[in-house]
Structure 1
Amino acid sequence: MASSVARLHSDRVRERRWTGKGVTLGEVLSHLAELHHDISHTEAEDQGHPHPRNSVMNLVVCVGSQARAEETQEVVERMAASHPLRAVVIRRAGEKERPTLDAEIVTEAHQLVRGETIQREQIYLSVSGAAADHLASFVEPLLVADVPTYLWWAGTPPLGERGLRDALAICDVLIVDSAGFEKPVTAFLEFAGLADRLGGRIGFADLHWSRQRPWRESLSQFFSPSERRGLLRGIERFDIDCAGEGQAAWVGGSLLTGWIAGALGWRLLRAAAVTDEHADAIYQAPGGALIPVALRSSGRTTLPRGTATRLRLEAESGGLRCLDTIELHPERDDHAHMTIELAGQPAIRQRLALPPQDESELLVQALAVARRDRVFMRSLSAAAELQDALG
């Protein structure tokens, strides 16, 4: 399926580009100003005024390889069709290499139907030597003033390194993808710890949280009818299977479990790994009821690690008993089947569409709520507590 965040046709786009090897930051700033002046005056009508810059955000992207840099630049290009921005993509080429700064700038504008111009200003920097530890000094002069700055660390964020701490000082939101962490459990706990310490100053977002959205929405919709809402207080068991192997797969399941536990006020009593592929936990509801939770790794490798492949929830309240199961199609990743069994009623079967979401779509979702997503922060804290208990 094609991405819903699509590139514009080249006929609608005007572009200016500059590339430099072994340059200074001052040269980068000078050429950036020249390109912006050039394209804004080219876009102006003969009798009109140059179009002002209309960026709504700064997006700083940190990558560790040239291949990843190219991938993220394509993501930014797709986003720019609907989100005017200035992006700074930084490749940290290595501290031990000779200090150099290579740069590429792309300035782009396109016309909408109503005649307004949206711009993408994208700066790619390859930084080597000791300067790679001082990202803020490179990035801050390149940012557009008076708009929020998002830092997307495309990989495992080195939370203990000076480079990241330096970059956090100039950003409003840190974005990661926990499904891609190299050491999933350790990195997830470190990320949650950082969010706990700095959550009052900056926002935090996880692309895997965006990836799980259809599963959260399906569970929420199950409880939407007024006759089922009492079942929220009567949940007796919750099981979740996730793509991947071992405890690494449980990180995604912990996020979904943390979402439910945080929303319903459950308190974690204990948790332990039963096998390499299975863990059990016991929560206590506000009324004192005990709720068993099971996390399992499904071994499925066609999906990002930690993606839900099966959810099973049992509940009873006021004489109404139910079993809600959502299970991914065994051979396809684009839909799941939901089965709702209510005592004394015919089973209800529904198809849950799970359209593929590329990074640009996930990033747009994260950007929309990252600065105020209290639900995610609460879920992250509960998920980290569960992962920590599992050891």
Structure 2
Amino acid sequence: MTMKDQVMTREATNSPGLRLPWAGRTVQLENVEEELAFLWKMSGDNMRTGQNTNVRTSILNLIICAPDIESAQRASALLRHLSSTHLARVTVLVLDRSSDAPAALTTWITLRCFSVISDIMRHCFEQTTLLVSGSAIRSIANIVQPLLKAHLPVYLWWLGDPPDNETIFNDLVELSNRVIVDSTTFFNPEQDLQTLASLSQAAPNSALSDLNWGRATPWRQLVAQFFDVVEYRPYLAGVNSIEIEHAAAPLATPTVTESGDVSPNPACALLLAGWLKARLGWLLASDSSENIHDTASGTYRWLMEGTASPRTTRTLGSPRVKTGKAGNAQMASIDIRPQVQSQMRPGSICLVRLVSNVEGKQATFTINREGDPDHVLTSVELSRETRPQRTVSLTAAQDTSELLHDELEITGHDYLFEQTLQEVAELLG
């Protein structure tokens, strides 16, 4: 930390702060370690009195960066469901970017413990919360770094839109081994996905992940399962049409719902389209005259060039390899459009349909929510014969705490996601 940062921090920490009961008690920044040690001692004394056991784990640091106190409190509440991830220390940052806010920094600490085995054993981790405003925000990376547990990986969970080429964000990314976002909350989904694609290339040492990619996982699995059936496998090479529909609020213009979601939000649909494009080896057609790019409504159409040669059609789970235009080129298309749904979270996938033509025979593979937020129906229509439908639950895939838990279990890069981001950036141009 530079001398200027040290002076700024001392001045800022002398500023009065708010009372945040969920964040614990207020302390001076320079006393955080001492005060946390005291909390551990008090907790240990209480455990000996009650004949119980506290489990202190040290696996990872989690930084949660929030734009406001309400978002920070919601994120903090989710940590109750992450007892199995072995958090060592959580640092919650609330960045008050109000133009008239003075330079200020207020710090809270708490020891959070949750039952693991009844009340006999409890998982505990440390939580430090910082409310930072004014010019003090510029020094946030230097302020946070001493609070991290040394020699442990650092995960950054950034709430809201990722800023484009902002020093504060980039400095926090530099501190982190993994950066987690949730594109279902993006205010400008199209622009923000392109920002993420640029970030994954500009910061190769930081793994990047998106909770929305987890929401798309069951849809990707269901698509792949169609072609696990031997009878349907030949139709993978003949897919020439993809349709994806995403939920939108029943309003004609872009809006923010009462829960803070933006509608329309085609982020998950775009990720699914990018994944399918890569898995099928499709390339954007040189003729773009019939393409549609309507950001306001979340409607898109791209003409693609595929290949009808089974030798150059890869399975849906294989690594991405550019196939070029070799083989028997065939035209294909990807369509994304909104579906008005008042009972679903904006951006949720409502329908995926793949149409294939092989040797004069057509097969249609459909995954359809049919208005049900928790289940989908999968169906296959082959040569005008409809096969039995299957009902699949999607409940677990929509829980934010479960999605975050899964991301915190990943230690390295999710290369498939990062490759898909580049595909989305190519589609969006």
d(CA) in 1 for partners of 2:293, 2:169:
36
Task: Tell me if the contact between 2:366 and 2:379 (Cα under 8 Å) persists in the aligned partners.
Answer: yes
Task: Tell me if the contact between 1:24 and 1:101 (Cα under 8 Å) persists in the aligned partners.
Answer: no
Amino acid at match of 1:90: L
Task: Tell me if the contact between 1:325 and 1:339 (Cα under 8 Å) persists in the aligned partners.
Answer: yes
Shift of 1:281: 0.5
Shift of 1:346: 4.3
Query: Match of 1:33?
Result: 37
1:47-78 C-alpha deviation (Å, 9 max, x unpaired): 99x97742221110011111111101101222
Task: Tell me if the contact between 2:193 and 2:267 (Cα under 8 Å) persists in the aligned partners.
Answer: yes
Query: Match of 1:155?
Result: 160
TM-score between both structures, scaled by the size of structure 1: 0.84
d(CA) in 2 for partners of 1:44, 1:371:
39
Query: Match of 1:194?
Result: 199
Query: Match of 1:305?
Result: 346
2:266 matches 1:283: no
Give the SS at the match of 2:176.
coil
Task: Tell me if the contact between 2:353 and 2:364 (Cα under 8 Å) persists in the aligned partners.
Answer: yes
Amino acid at match of 2:382: L
d(CA) in 1 for partners of 2:50, 2:349:
56
2:329 matches 1:323: no
d(CA) in 2 for partners of 1:371, 1:107:
28
d(CA) in 2 for partners of 1:273, 1:84:
45
Shift of 1:36: 2.6
1:307-344 C-alpha deviation (Å, 9 max, x unpaired): 211111011346664101111122x3111222111227
2:104 matches 1:104: no
d(CA) in 2 for partners of 1:72, 1:168:
19
Query: Match of 1:10?
Result: none
Amino acid at match of 2:135: A
Amino acid at match of 1:341: E
Distance 1:197 1:82, change over 3 A: closer
Give the SS at the match of 1:31.
helix
1:256-292 C-alpha deviation (Å, 9 max, x unpaired): 0111112232212247326664321022224422211
Task: Tell me if the contact between 2:242 and 2:353 (Cα under 8 Å) persists in the aligned partners.
Answer: yes
Distance 1:47 1:250, change over 3 A: closer
TM-score between both structures, scaled by the size of structure 2: 0.77
Shift of 1:134: 2.0
Distance 1:100 1:385, change over 3 A: same
Task: Tell me if the contact between 1:281 and 1:294 (Cα under 8 Å) persists in the aligned partners.
Answer: yes
2:132 matches 1:92: no
Choose from 270, 281, 284 the match for 1:254.
270
Amino acid at match of 2:394: L
Give the SS at the match of 2:74.
helix
Task: Tell me if the contact between 2:111 and 2:126 (Cα under 8 Å) persists in the aligned partners.
Answer: yes
Distance 1:369 1:338, change over 3 A: same
List aligned pairs for 1:107-186, cutoff 5 A: 107-110=111-114, 112-113=116-117, 118-186=123-191
2:382 matches 1:342: yes
Amino acid at match of 2:365: D
Shift of 1:164: 0.7
Give the SS at the match of 1:105.
strand
Query: Match of 1:353?
Result: 393
d(CA) in 1 for partners of 2:112, 2:340:
43
Distance 1:96 1:347, change over 3 A: same
Amino acid at match of 1:312: R
Query: Match of 2:81?
Result: 78
Task: Tell me if the contact between 1:254 and 1:387 (Cα under 8 Å) persists in the aligned partners.
Answer: no
Distance 1:51 1:302, change over 3 A: closer
d(CA) in 2 for partners of 1:354, 1:117:
31
Distance 1:164 1:80, change over 3 A: same
Query: Match of 1:54?
Result: 57
Shift of 1:255: 0.6
Deviates more, 1:354-363 or 1:203-212: 354-363
d(CA) in 1 for partners of 2:277, 2:411:
21
Query: Match of 2:428?
Result: 387
Shift of 1:371: 2.5
Shift of 1:154: 0.9
d(CA) in 1 for partners of 2:424, 2:341:
22
d(CA) in 2 for partners of 1:147, 1:348:
50
Task: Tell me if the contact between 1:251 and 1:387 (Cα under 8 Å) persists in the aligned partners.
Answer: no
Task: Tell me if the contact between 2:83 and 2:116 (Cα under 8 Å) persists in the aligned partners.
Answer: no
d(CA) in 1 for partners of 2:102, 2:293:
50
Shift of 1:18: 4.6
Give the SS at the match of 1:225.
coil
Shift of 1:98: 2.4
Task: Tell me if the contact between 2:95 and 2:133 (Cα under 8 Å) persists in the aligned partners.
Answer: yes
Task: Tell me if the contact between 1:243 and 1:305 (Cα under 8 Å) persists in the aligned partners.
Answer: yes
Task: Tell me if the contact between 1:336 and 1:351 (Cα under 8 Å) persists in the aligned partners.
Answer: yes
1:181-221 C-alpha deviation (Å, 9 max, x unpaired): 112211221111111222x3110011111112221111111
d(CA) in 1 for partners of 2:365, 2:143:
52
Query: Match of 2:292?
Result: 273
1:131-188 C-alpha deviation (Å, 9 max, x unpaired): 2122212221111222221101111122322211111111011111111111221122
Give the SS at the match of 2:389.
strand
Amino acid at match of 2:61: N
Task: Tell me if the contact between 1:109 and 1:117 (Cα under 8 Å) persists in the aligned partners.
Answer: yes
Give the SS at the match of 1:220.
helix
